[in-house]
Chains A and B, each alone.
Chain A
Amino acid sequence: MNRDLVERKIFGTLRWLVIGVLVVVTVLPFYYMVLLSLRPIDKLLQDPGDLGISAGELTWSTYGDVLTSVADGGQGFLSLLTNSGLVALATVAITLILAVPGSYAIGRLRFFGRKQMHFLFLAVYLFPSILLAIPLFVFFTRAGLRGSLVGLTIVYVAQAVPVSVYMLRNYLASLPASIEEAAAIDGCNRLQTVWRVIIPLAAPALMANALYIFMIAWNEFLFALLFLVENRPSWTVSLGLAQLAGGIEVPKTTLMAASVILTIPIVLIFFAAEKMLTEGLTSGADKG
């Protein structure tokens, strides 16, 4: 018992140490990002160790510089935001249109080859995306789609569909079969059942799924780099930031503002999705 007491004391203290260190390590880079985005560049170079906020020095000019169009002497991130937003929203819409019937089939219908399909969708992830990138690069060059947002969206949809099917399948499989049987007795065919019964029931899962796909598309970098790098007007925010960060012309504080702009939508979406996910799991379908 004595040794147990000692161990409890040690690990009880250690626990708080671990929590403290982890919070600092995860939050500090984001705090640093926001702080630097609001600080004039000469202040950063003079006193790089300063982590405090002094209200007098804060500047919003970095954000102005980032968002102003290139023609007006800024970095033109407003149009990059539009590009990223369009690609991400299109990816979400197309992926869901494809994944809902697909995941319903894999999750709820017994058909020939169902297990193999499920395996195929998982096996996709064994292959590095750089391997896919080469033939797609060749194909899009030939088809003249390289440099266009349409080509990029197609690739993102293909990347997101297997994950989306996998996530939705698990949710749909958990819905009670009695609901569908009731719909069938009421005269619904499969398509009507999916449209009128399954989709409304799966709405929270669909929403969480949509947000997750949005995150994948918004954060993606490799394909944007390969396909769009020569065509500045169609850059995404990620690509724009990476390209400018490689150079020395743009001040680091301005790029920090760009990082904040890139990160904020994702953080907002994440906290919205976290709530939605838990709500989706707690609301029972059979209760009502």
Chain B
Amino acid sequence: MSAVTARSAAPASERRRPLTLKQRENRTGLGFLSPTLIVVLAVVVVPILWTILLSFQEIRLINVRSAGVFGNYTLENFTTVFTSPGFWGSLLTTIVYTVGATTLSISIGLAAALALRAPFRGRALVRGAMLLPYIAPVVAVSFVWEVMLSPQFGIVNTFGTNVLGWDAPIAFLSQRESTVHLFGLELPVPVALLTVIAFEGWRYFPFAFLFIMARLQGVSRDVEEASLVDGATLTQRFRHVLLPQLMPVIALLSVLRFILTFNKFDDIYLLTGGGAGTDVISVRVYDFLTSRFDIGAASAQALILAVFLIIGVGVYLRFFAPKAEEGTL
């Protein structure tokens, strides 16, 4: 499509006055970009705007055919969402899940990158193996986790009861809470939530690993060697020389992982279905949509999710990101 416009535009304009190089570049640029832009606008931007409209309308799946752009606008969906039981708890769960999974995946990724920094025989193979959780289809890996963690025939519980001496198998994915006795204290532990956080950490540490690994290759050894001569120990060299150089990439990773985990649906839906204290907002949106057929309330809830995320990222970029940029200098 762009080809036609670009070609036909050129001879027509040459007849009048030849366009400057800049004008021609401008036209070709827009022409080349337009197919991409049309698809993104039609299937991404318009739906986002439409969700905003839907969230202010009372729409259910039954009357979806009759509803138009100029329906009756109401704030009822937002009242429904904010007063529905479990909304605030679900928001808290989403935040705990996101922060936990982001921290865990970046920490493991950092440890992996540092451990693989110096070459050794078979490093390429180990590196390849470590990317497996990230590239494998989520449905397949979540199913394997489900079977591995199964209280009846899962390898983890078999190992736990036979070797580690657990009293009883743990229902990792369906138990909301368990108490752990530690130094005479009874601590409540959200079992299922911790399990899905562990799953996220496992599945996405390769992402952090790849980024940090790439950055590590660009770090010059000179400063480290100089600090070694100055008598800095290994941990000091890491803390004062290496870590500051890695901080920008870690900050970038934190934002990226935070955004992607906050919006995550598949992993929790497949592992627990949102039960046992893992009902993050995206799974709630899905439930509103498919079991209540309440499109209006589902849209309102999805919108609230997006707004919270945009505010969070905005606050981060406004107050914390400049420090990360200084680190790059």
Contact = CB atoms under 8 A, between A and B. Distances in A.
B32 A134 contact: no
A75 interface: no
A63 to B, nearest CB: 15
A132 B289 contact: no
A102 B44 contact: no
A237 to B, nearest CB: 8
B153 A45 contact: yes
A285 interface: no
B133 A7 contact: no
Contacts of A252: 147, 153
B140 A134 contact: no
Nearest to A260: B140
Interface in B180-205: 202
A129 interface: yes
B143 A241 contact: yes
A132 B36 contact: no
B316 interface: no
B309 interface: yes
A42 B108 CA distance: 37
Interface stretch (B45-53, B83-91, B218-226, B319-327): B45-53
Nearest to A48: B153
A138 B295 contact: yes
Given A105-B29, A135-B51, A241-B140, A158 B270 contact: no
Given A128-B265, A135-B47, A109 B32 contact: yes
A138 B64 contact: yes
Nearest to A194: B32
B82 to A, nearest CB: 18
Interface residues of A, number: 93
A130 B282 contact: yes
A241 B36 contact: no
Interface stretch (A52-60, A65-73, A263-271): A263-271
Contact of B259 (A11, A126, A137, A155): A126
Contact of B144 (A29, A137, A139, A242): A29
A23 B309 contact: no
Nearest to B305: A128
Contacts of B299: 131, 134-135
Interface stretch (B109-117, B171-179, B244-252): B109-117
A101 B36 contact: yes
A287 interface: no
A26 B129 contact: yes
Given A112-B26, A126-B313, A222 B35 contact: no
A267 to B, nearest CB: 7
Contacts of B111: 18, 22
B19 interface: no
Interface string B22-66: 100111111111011101101111111011001000010100110
B170 to A, nearest CB: 14
Interface string A71-106: 000000000000000000000000001110110111
B43 A136 contact: yes
A33 B136 CA distance: 12
Nearest to B286: A130
Given A49-B159, A137-B289, A266 B136 contact: yes
Interface in A244-270: 245, 252, 255-256, 259-260, 262-263, 266-267, 270
Nearest to A224: B139
Contacts of B269: 222
- Which interface residue of A25, A141, A158 has the most chain B CB atoms within 10 A? A158
Contacts of B260: 125
A135 B135 contact: no
A110 B310 contact: no
A20 B295 CA distance: 49
A191 interface: yes
A203 interface: no
Interface in B199-235: 202, 206, 228, 231-235
24 contacts: A19-B126, A23-B129, A26-B206, A29-B141, A29-B145, A30-B136, A109-B28, A111-B30, A117-B33, A124-B45, A128-B282, A128-B309, A130-B285, A130-B302, A133-B289, A137-B295, A139-B50, A142-B64, A161-B39, A238-B139, A259-B143, A266-B135, A267-B135, A270-B131
Interface of B: 2-3, 6-7, 10, 22, 25-33, 35-37, 39-40, 42-48, 50-51, 54, 59, 61, 64-65, 108, 111-112, 114-116, 126, 128-133, 135-141, 143-148, 152-155, 158-159, 162, 202, 206, 228, 231-235, 259-260, 262-263, 265-266, 269-270, 282, 285-286, 289-290, 295, 298-299, 302-303, 305-306, 309-310, 313
Closest 7 CB pairs of A and B: A111-B29, A102-B36, A158-B43, A128-B263, A109-B29, A49-B158, A105-B32
Given A22-B111, A117-B37, 12 more contacts: A23-B129, A26-B202, A26-B206, A29-B133, A45-B152, A49-B159, A51-B155, A132-B47, A132-B48, A134-B299, A134-B302, A221-B137
